[in-house]
Structure 1
Amino acid sequence: MQTGSPPCPNPLLVEVLQEQLELLRISLFVATQGPAEMAGTQLRCSLEPPIINASQPIAMCAGQSVNTILRCLDWRGIPVRDLYPIARSAVESFINAAFLVSQDSAASERALRYVKFRQWKQHNRTVGEGVFTLKLSSSGSPADSPPTEFKEFTGKGQDMWTTLALPSRINRVGQAAGRKAGSRLLAAYTLIYSVSSEVIHGSPFGVSYFYSTGAPTSVEEFRQSTVGQMEDMLVAVAHAAAGYLATFYTSQGMKTAASIEQELFNKLLALEGVEPQ
């Protein structure tokens, strides 16, 4: 029987993520605080206020989730399962932030209005089915009768901050910010979305996938297999971060930062045995 802890996830992959987080911090600073200098060039953000207000908190949260995962690199075995929702949140947050950054202000303005609607809906909704139904109301009015100010969020398929599904948002990013940005987000979505859904929702397949990936025959082999699963999550969030950073820096015409992001992404591709772009 093997003894000792299984090896850590690839340190080069961790290094790429840490450098991506530094680029993310710079983008957040430039968008919310003002111009900055990088390699002798001025970085100046031209995003309109609604886009900044809607997109940057989401991008910040995505980075925080990546940091959380990086703090858990020594986890092995059963606890690794609980990193799936964090990785999924990071990926979706990067996609959403990239979508808002790449679109006109109308998308962000709707997203900001949705926040108020969702605050109302949290306390005015119907939950359950049949005799096991709860009707929540903070105003005494029917839960399906929102105030007039929320009229745009009534009707089938209209009660979300965007009417576009995640793949459609990725497509819009690719159309606006280029194929590189779109393809990186698509890769992240492909790597994490389906499996994380099964794990998060506690499906039979989700449980089977987590415990049987790599067909472990001992506790140590299972612990080793979870290192591989953690690496899969890290690769997914790295692709998502790359997609967001490519979207932000390309759309803002920050060529120096975009070039640095490309170099980092090429390192990621090299780790995966893929030719650089």
Structure 2
Amino acid sequence: MLQLCSIASGSSGNCICVGSNSTHVLIDAGISGKRIENGLNSIDMTARDMSGILITHEHIDHVAGLGVMARRYHLPIYATQKTITAMQSMSSLGKIDAELFHPIEKNEDFMIGDVTFHPLEISHDAADPVCYRFTDGTHRFAVVTDLGIYDSHQVQQLQDLDAILLESNHDIRMLETGIYPYPLKQRILGNKGHLSNERSGQFLSELLSDRMTSVMLGHLSKENNLEELAYETVRVEINAADNPYHADDFHLQVAKRDTVSPMIQVG
């Protein structure tokens, strides 16, 4: 059995709990330690039930609570070496015991308990960003956020998933007409920025299969998106795509920004 629960997901902070019957980890720790603990408590877990923290990249909305969680619970931290180096230079995280860092390699599997994780390279303006696909040997999930573009390699590596949390960051028109300064708008729209609702739907359309049962849209921008807009735009893209699948063929939901989202569970 695999599980995925979004403790928080959005431009202001990200923390996802994933795992199996016997192994659970956090993917990112971009909210306060207290919020992480409260979120885990709400799904009948505690931080002591976690076997580690997997970091996608060093931006503060993905690591804000990392130092507190690592020091308080002595949790192993898994990230690429470049991401580890970038985090070690961040004074906001405080000092983290060097022995807690476990370097991983992009595109090379590693195991934690009975779950195998595969870090997949993505395009984002960070030191060495990755997303994570993971499996218990039977079922396959993925958490894929913070990428400006996607390519055929990522599409191929994310086939035959049972469930995915996928970025649907912004509505292009809201971003273009919003209050962000022009350079920031260009960064978000660029190849190392974030996926729009439309691109998220197009990406998802290439990942759909008979196995896919659940999709959670995540990392929505507070200023440049709306839950309803992301949901409806992705549905439109899926229904318009050149494949045999429709938006009603699986459960589609949007991850909450400030509260725990419903658990996705398969198996």
- TM-score category of the 2 structures, normalised to the smaller one: under 0.3
User: Which has the larger helix fraction?
Assistant: 1
**Whose RCO is larger (CA < 8 A, sep 6+)?**
1
TM-score, with length taken from structure 2 = 0.27
TM-score, with length taken from structure 1 = 0.26
Structure number, greater radius of gyration: 1
User: Which has the larger strand fraction?
Assistant: 2
